[in-house]
A and B are shown apart, each in its own frame.
Chain A
Amino acid sequence: MAKIDNLNETEQDILEIIKTVPDPEVSVNIVDLGLIYEVEHFEEDNKINIKMTLSARGCPVGDTILQHVQTVVSNMYPGYYVDVELVWEPTWTPELITEDGRAELDGGF
């Protein structure tokens, strides 16, 4: 289980790639919004698993965000099977936003 505070080097790279994905509503990247729960890299199986959530159920751009994550990671890791799974547990709360994310939210407009 590779929670995002306990990642190996490759998984950290993957997280950096996911950081290029913004939430189109608030224009803050989804890693700093605390939406990414887990990143797992399985070199032997050529597989990458990502578990993430959304800030609200029924988010109008929800599956575009998931698709965005899938596309950028697949592009950087050709030949890998990238599985992006949406989970609702644990429920996302504002406490999951990083310091950088909070700074961007406050000064974003």
Chain B
Amino acid sequence: MQAGLSTKNAPSPSVVLPHYAYGAVAFIVAAILLFFTADDIALSYMTPKVLSIIHVLILGWITMIIFGALYQLIPVVMELKLFSEKLAMASFITLGLGTPMMAVSFWYDFISSTYLMMTGGGLVILSVIMFAINTIASAMKSEIKTIENRFIITSIFWLILTVLLGLSIVLFPQILAYGSFQIHIHLGIIGWFMMLVVGVASTLMPMFFIAHQLNKKCLQRAYILINGGLVILVATMFFDLSSYVKIGAGFFILVGFIMFIKYNFGAYKKRLRKKLDIGMKLSVLAFILLIITLISGFLSVFGGMIDSSLLTKLNLVYGTSLIYGFLTALILGQMYKTLPFIVWLKIYQDKVGKFKTPLPADMHSQEAADAHYFFFIGGFALLIFGIVLSEAILIQASAGFMLLTALLYGYNTFIILNHKEKLKPLTLPKLRPRVAAKKK
């Protein structure tokens, strides 16, 4: 095989595609749960229903799609085959079973060691361990040592710490202090999701923008600042250090993410395709929403200096703008940049050159995608206003918009996954008469 190619390294579509299908269903379920959680979200994030919906979104929607996408992307960014497809399938099944168990347990029993919580949590941890083994074993064989890959590997380290601490909170709630819960959240959000997203987005965005000659120093600085800031932040929470140290850590992390945005903004400015398709429009929107996350996240490190009801709102805006804003918009957009290609390759890989085939961009409904782009913006804006004004009715209205978004997105996911072969005769240019090949 020629170096630098990834198609032949790609895993079987039957490993990757179920992740996208599951994620689309979880996104619909989350929108329905949001409607019934409106009263709680208007007040706090530490309620049974809010924790339930957060875990549906984080595990069933975001982590599920990230796992699937990474199984597809590891061959792209690391230029090798995935360590084990069986392990990937096993991690899908365990995450898929564990997530609803945890969500139901949170909804009815809050943070308690119920049978469902222990089984669900155990399955999720098992899934994460299998994912971590698969990705780390793949990375160790890779000769491609880029800064983007370093972000991905580091995120897996933080993920393992996140789930181990999460399980410890449920198992030993009487021993672990409130700070452990805060550490769990920050390890998960900054260490796992954001670290991974920085690595993957910084690989894919320039590729899809067709932008070259970018300054990678921004990414190297981002790596040091975000990881350094996170270590200090966690130490601050664990040892209950001064708030000034916490503010310093928050500042490091903030500047790190500004470096990440700067790198991708550079790719956006240098892009060859001036007009953005729906996938890139949603991805650019995600970066705009990230600014809300960064501002609210940084302000929340001032903690004790802020009025408690305002701090609760800040934390809610921070978490919501990250999970239902940045990460959701990025996943919505990147679905259109990855899923059609996986299905297209599966169906048309052996047909190219023999027939005229549709393009990956032709495999979804453009009307549905355009509509859910606006429903999503409307739903997100209503959600943030609902939180800021503590108005449950706005959050319920947001749930309606988010449900429409999820249904249209689910429809497009479904039609891409069920795409049937459409071939037309090939039309080739008329060439001047020539001599046939000589028989040897």
Contact present for B4 and A72 (CB under 8 Å): no
Distance from A24 Cβ to chain B, minimum over Cβ atoms (Å) = 5
Is A107 a contact partner of B428 (Cβ separation < 8 A)? no
Query: Contact at B273–A108, with CB atoms within 8 Å?
Result: yes
Contact A60–B6 (Cβ < 8 Å): yes
Bound Cα distance from A27 to B361, whole angstroms: 9
Asked if A108 and B272 make an inter-chain contact with CB atoms under 8 angstroms apart, the answer reads no
The answer to whether A72 touches B428, judged by C-beta atoms less than 8 angstroms apart, is yes
Known contacts A58-B6, A63-B5, A71-B354: does B437 contact A26 (CB below 8 Å)? no
Q: Is B275 an interface residue (CB 8 A)?
A: yes
Contacts of A5 in B (CB 8 A): none
Distance between Cα atoms of A44 and B436 in the complex (Å): 11
List chain A residues, Cβ under 8 A from B212.
Answer: 93-94
Contact A71 B352 (CB under 8 A): yes
Count how many pairs of residues, one from A and one from B, have CB atoms less than 8 Å apart in the complex: 136
Report the minimal beta-carbon distance from A18 to chain B, rounded to whole angstroms: 10
1/0 per residue, CB under 8 A from B, across A16-29: the answer is 11011110111100
Count of interface residues, chain A, beta-carbon cutoff 8 Å:
52
Contacting residues, chain A, for B437 (C-beta < 8 A): 46, 77-80
A63 with B2: CB separation less than 8 A? yes
A61 near B341 with CB under 8 A, answer: yes
Q: In this complex, what residue of A is CB-closest to B10?
A: A60
- Give B275-298 as 1s and 0s: 1 = Cβ < 8 Å from A's Cβ atoms: 111000000000000000000000
Q: Which residues of B contact A61 (CB under 8 A)?
A: 7, 341, 344-345
- In the complex, the answer to whether B272 meets A94 with C-beta atoms within 8 Å is yes
Residues in A neighbouring B426, C-beta threshold 8 A: 20, 72
Q: A16-B429, A106-B273 are in contact. Are A56 and B207 (CB under 8 A)?
A: yes
Minimum CB–CB distance for B373 against chain A, Å? 14
Interface pair A17/B4, CB less than 8 Å apart: no
A: which residues have CB within 8 A of B? 9-10, 13, 16-17, 19-22, 24-27, 43-44, 46, 54-64, 66-72, 75-80, 85-86, 88, 93-94, 97, 102, 105-109
The 7 closest A-B pairs by CB, nearest first: A71-B353, A79-B437, A68-B352, A57-B4, A86-B2, A63-B7, A58-B76
* Inter-chain pairs besides A20-B427, A26-B210, A66-B5, 5 sampled, C-beta below 8 Å: A17-B429, A21-B353, A67-B349, A79-B437, A106-B273
